Amino acid sequence: MATQTLLVTGGAGFIGSNLVRFLLAETDVRVVTLDALTYAGNLSNLADCLDSPRHTFVRGSITSADLVAHLLQAHRVDGILNLAAESHVDRSILGPRVFVETNVEGTLTLLCAARAAGVRRFLQVSTDEVYGSLGPTGAFREGTPLAPNSPYSASKASADLLVRAFHQTYGMDTVTTRCSNNYGPCQFPEKLIPLMILRARQGQSLPVYGDGLNVRDWLYVRDHCTALWAAYTRGQAGAVYTIGGGCEKTNLEVVRAILQALDRPESLIEFVADRPGHDRRYAIDASRLRDELGWRPAVDFDAGIAETVRWYLEHADWLTQVASGDYLHAYEQLYGPGGKAARTVGGGTR
Ligand code: NAD
Ligand code: DAU
């Protein structure tokens, strides 16, 4: 089969940039990255990918029907992996509208364009948060009823339902993945792990919501990428796959592990007001992905957190640039005001 061309949306974000790097290193696909470079998108996350002849970066929004249609046609895109999103729960509590615009309307725009262009497969990268909150026992599975609790998770669940509808109604080949919490390099420091590393490194207090006993199921980001690739290449059409590391930790356990890795005192921990609607516990049963596709996580939490802390310490410039907001100007600095060549970087059409 000829080499495929994949459109990866949100590829300048945390998981997206790790996925683009994985695809260029481990597969022979061509990648077109479409990213709006919001506050969460950072072109330096892709610094080592921009010169690859198999990679083209395009700055633009998944809500732009004309741009998406043009890219699918110009690059003869075979498949779409949709990671573009507003992804932070706290921000969705403060301002839900953009979450609907990007996560729901953006996904609908992509689905319509994919259908019109005859794209072979559409992978929707969703989240375990669509299932809501667990009690002390049990785990989310593919068939767990959707019960989102935050505007973020409601927008992701809405997008998932559109993806389902496009499969049922139009026979579109779709796959939906629902993963638990990721950690690793290039995560924006508004999320728990990079925020705590950044603040602990500077000797600042570490704000832990509520009693710190909320539980998340942590997965190293590269393991999410291998799961996405397994689901994209070998998943069943119309299927949902839940993805998780089988690694439940309370937030306090995570924060303590970071303090230990950085050799900082626990007195930095500060309990603060709880997040409204804070889901108590997430846990994933990933047996479908394991049994059907043979996927297993390769990195355990101790190794992953050590690697993650090391990455942030070795990339203090990345943290400083992100914390100062300087990265927001990187695109213009690299390619001039308005961007170069219709906002396209590297690669080219084929
Ligand atoms: P992120 O916030 O780090 O990155 C999101 C990217 O999307 C950014 O580069 C941003 O610029 C881009 N983007 C935002 N709006 C856009 C638009 N309209 N058009 C094009 N690009 C746009 O998010 P992340 O943590 O990497 O998450 C990626 C995906 O994975 C999201 O769909 C998220 O819901 C899902 N997910 C995340 C996690 C996690 O733990 N981080 C877990 C499960 C699922
Ligand atoms: O489960 C998958 C989801 O994981 C993804 O869909 C989301 O995109 C991603 O942001 C993440 O959502 P969470 O809300 O779980 O992640 P966050 O890093 O914001 O918070 C993790 C836990 O830590 C949560 O229980 C809230 C708590 N927390 C978070 C922050 C930022 C704190 O106690 N203090 C903090 O400062």
Q: What is the CATH number of the domain that holds 255?
A: 3.90.25.10
User: Quick check: is 51 catalytic?
Assistant: no
131, 181, 219, 203 alpha-carbon torsion, rounded to 10°: -160
65 assigned to some structural domain: yes
Whether 348 has a pLDDT exceeding 50, the answer reads no
User: Quick check: is 129 catalytic?
Assistant: yes
Q: Are residues 140 and 191 in the same domain?
A: no
H helical segments located in the chain: 14-26, 65-74, 89-94, 97-99, 107-117, 151-170, 192-201, 221-234, 251-262, 287-293, 301-314, 316-324, 330-335
Which residues partner with 35 through β-bridges? Answer: 59
Residues 181-201: what's their mean pLDDT? 96
Q: Are residues 93 and 189 in the same domain?
A: no
**Ligand with minimal distance to 193 CA:** 2
Span from the CA of 1 to the centroid of ligand 1 (angstroms): 30
- Residue by residue, DSSP assigns 64-115 as -HHHHHHHHHHTT--EEEE------HHHHHH--HHHIIIIIIIHHHHHHHHH
What is the Cα–Cα distance from 179 to 220, expressed in whole angstroms?
11
Whether 170 has a pLDDT exceeding 80, the answer reads yes
Host domain of residue 11: 5-182+219-243
Residue 182 near residue 15, CB atoms below 8 Å: yes
Please report how the helices 251-262 and 192-201 are oriented relative to each other, as an axis angle in degrees rounded to 10.
40
Q: Are residues 65 and 87 in the same domain?
A: yes
Q: What is the pLDDT of residue 326?
A: 74
Q: Are residues 202 and 175 in the same domain?
A: no
Q: What is the pLDDT of residue 158?
A: 99
Residues 103-114: what's their mean pLDDT? 99
Average pLDDT of the chain is: 94
Q: Which residues contact 113 (CB under 8 A, 6 or more apart)?
A: 65, 68, 69, 72, 119
Indicate the range of 164-178, 224-238, 307-321 predicted with least confidence: 307-321
Residues 198-203: what's their mean pLDDT? 93
User: Quick check: is 307 catalytic?
Assistant: no
Q: How many CB atoms lie within 10 A of CB 196?
A: 27
Q: What is the pLDDT of residue 337?
A: 62
What is the Cα–Cα distance from 84 to 337, expressed in whole angstroms?
23
Whether 323 has a pLDDT exceeding 90, the answer reads no
Q: Are residues 129 and 189 in the same domain?
A: no
Q: Are residues 210 and 224 in the same domain?
A: no
Indicate the range of 28-37, 69-78, 221-230, 323-332 predicted with least confidence: 323-332
Q: Domain count of the chain?
A: 2
Q: Are residues 14 and 36 in the same domain?
A: yes
Q: Are residues 56 and 115 in the same domain?
A: yes
Q: Are residues 97 and 194 in the same domain?
A: no
| Catalytic residue of the set 78, 86, 129, 223 | 129
332 pLDDT tier (thresholds 50, 70, 90): confident
Question: What pLDDT digit, counting tens, does each position of 17-40 carry?
Answer: 999 999 999 999 999 999 999 999
Q: Are residues 203 and 307 in the same domain?
A: yes
What is the Cα–Cα distance from 93 to 84, expressed in whole angstroms?
19
> What is the residue with the minimal CA distance to atom 30 of ligand 2?
192
44 assigned to some structural domain: yes
Span from the CA of 38 to the centroid of ligand 1 (angstroms): 10
Whether 347 has a pLDDT exceeding 50, the answer reads no
Task: Tell whether ligand 1 has an atom less than 6 A from the beta carbon of residue 174.
Answer: no
Q: What is the pLDDT of residue 2?
A: 67
21 assigned to some structural domain: yes
CA 308, distance to chain mean position in Å, is: 16
230: closest CA among 183, 144, 289? 289
Task: Tell whether ligand 1 has an atom less than 6 A from the beta carbon of residue 194.
Answer: no
Burial tier of 125 (Cβ tally within 10 Å: 0-12, 13-18, 19+): buried
